[in-house]
Amino acid sequence: MTNLYTDKRTLVTGGLGFIGSNLAIRLVKLGADVEIFDALIPDMGGNKFNIEPVKKDVKVTIGDLRDEGKIAKAVRGKDIIFNLAGTLSHIDSMENPFSDLDINCRAQLQLLEACKKLNRGVKIIYAGTRNQYGKAKYLPVDENHPLEPTDINGVNAIAGEKYHLMYDKVYGIGAVSLRMTNTFGPRHQMKHSKQGVLNWFLRQIIDGETIKLMGGGGQIRDINYIDDVVRALILAGASKNANGQVYNLGGSALSLLEFSKKAINILGRGNTRNIDFPKDRKNIEVGDYIADYKKITKDLGWEPKTSIDEAIKKTFGYYKRYKKYYW
């Protein structure tokens, strides 16, 4: 793997965010040439401190994917684009569907159009989401499961993915989509719960606050640690066979209550309280989700390696050290 990325010219959109920054750090270690493109949209997770360990080794462009001139400059000459820009909030997308459309559809099209015009030889890895499936009709959910999302964000993520696969088919741009599940770990924003509830629970434990579990927290999520997701991105970027494919990621199926209990045990303090679903949440709640990720194991040899306990310990360790940069 090391050799494959040596001197590769990579672009990471959303590269100051949670997944993007962890990936950028890994790419630098693999010897890649890394440019980060990030709009630093407030509350979206971008944080300059995230790339502290590699800040001298990467080029950072602050810009919006919808800025045609800037994105044109950024895609030119790149070998691989990790396209992690976008928003993931279910609730926000229902309150502001047009803003979600802009960020998750228009911006994606702008990037792809730039590649079509200036760099058709490029490879793009798209960050899909389990949110595209909606309520599971069966478990575990494989890639052929119907796509019936319960929120705007899920619909727009489908469109974003299908644009990528269509540009792969029609214009010969290499594109892969990884449908990610709930991911947690260092460098996730810690200011609100809207882009991921797992890191939010960890913050509440750190702060001595009670974790509020909607509906008792019995709903199962399939949980990944960030380092495993980064490895999947690296593998997908390196494999030509992955072009045109969609892959589920997955890891440990745990209820939110079980996850909270594990974290409370590890830190030795904390507590939970059951609350009713707020109405706006209840409407879009998808119930249990467990991913079938056999396809990526078979094709790319990926599987998650970090145990949830170890992952929680590492995450607590990171925020203990760097809390002031996050909240």
Q: Which residues bind a second copy (CB under 8 A)?
A: 94, 97-98, 101, 105-106, 109, 113, 144, 146-152, 154-156, 158-159, 162-163, 165-166, 169-171, 283-284
221 close to 140: Cβ distance less than 8 angstroms: no
Query: Tokens standing for 270?
Result: 């904390």
The 8-class DSSP code of residue 161 comes to H
CB of residue 201 to a second copy, shortest distance in Å: 25
**What DSSP line would sit under 48-76, residue for residue?**
GGGGGGGTTTEEEEE--TT-HHHHHHHHT
CB of residue 199 to a second copy, shortest distance in Å: 26
How many CA atoms within 13 Å lie on the side-chain side of 118? 18
CB of residue 246 to a second copy, shortest distance in Å: 10
Q: How far apart are CA 169 and CA 164, in angstroms?
A: 9
Among residues 53 and 172, whose Cβ is nearest to a second copy? 172
Among residues 111 and 263, whose Cβ is nearest to a second copy? 111
Among residues 81 and 230, whose Cβ is nearest to a second copy? 81
Among residues 146 and 317, whose Cβ is nearest to a second copy? 146
CB of residue 283 to a second copy, shortest distance in Å: 5
Name 209's Cβ contacts closer than 8 Å, sequence gap at least 6.
none
Among residues 90 and 194, whose Cβ is nearest to a second copy? 90
CB atoms within 10 A of CB 118: 16
Among 119, 62, 69, which residue's Cα sits nearest to residue 85?
62
CB of residue 274 to a second copy, shortest distance in Å: 24
Among residues 93 and 315, whose Cβ is nearest to a second copy? 93
Among residues 151 and 292, whose Cβ is nearest to a second copy? 151
Q: How far apart are CA 158 and CA 310, in angstroms?
A: 33
CB of residue 52 to a second copy, shortest distance in Å: 37
CB of residue 163 to a second copy, shortest distance in Å: 6
Among 315, 295, 157, which residue's Cα sits nearest to residue 224?
315
Q: How far apart are CA 294 and CA 53, in angstroms?
A: 34
Q: How far apart are CA 170 and CA 153, in angstroms?
A: 25
CB of residue 155 to a second copy, shortest distance in Å: 4
Among residues 98 and 327, whose Cβ is nearest to a second copy? 98
Among 122, 20, 111, which residue's Cα sits nearest to residue 79?
122
How many residues in total does the chain contain?
A: 327
Q: How far apart are CA 325 and CA 221, in angstroms?
A: 28
Q: Phi first, then psi: give them for residue 275, nearest 5 degrees.
A: -130, 160
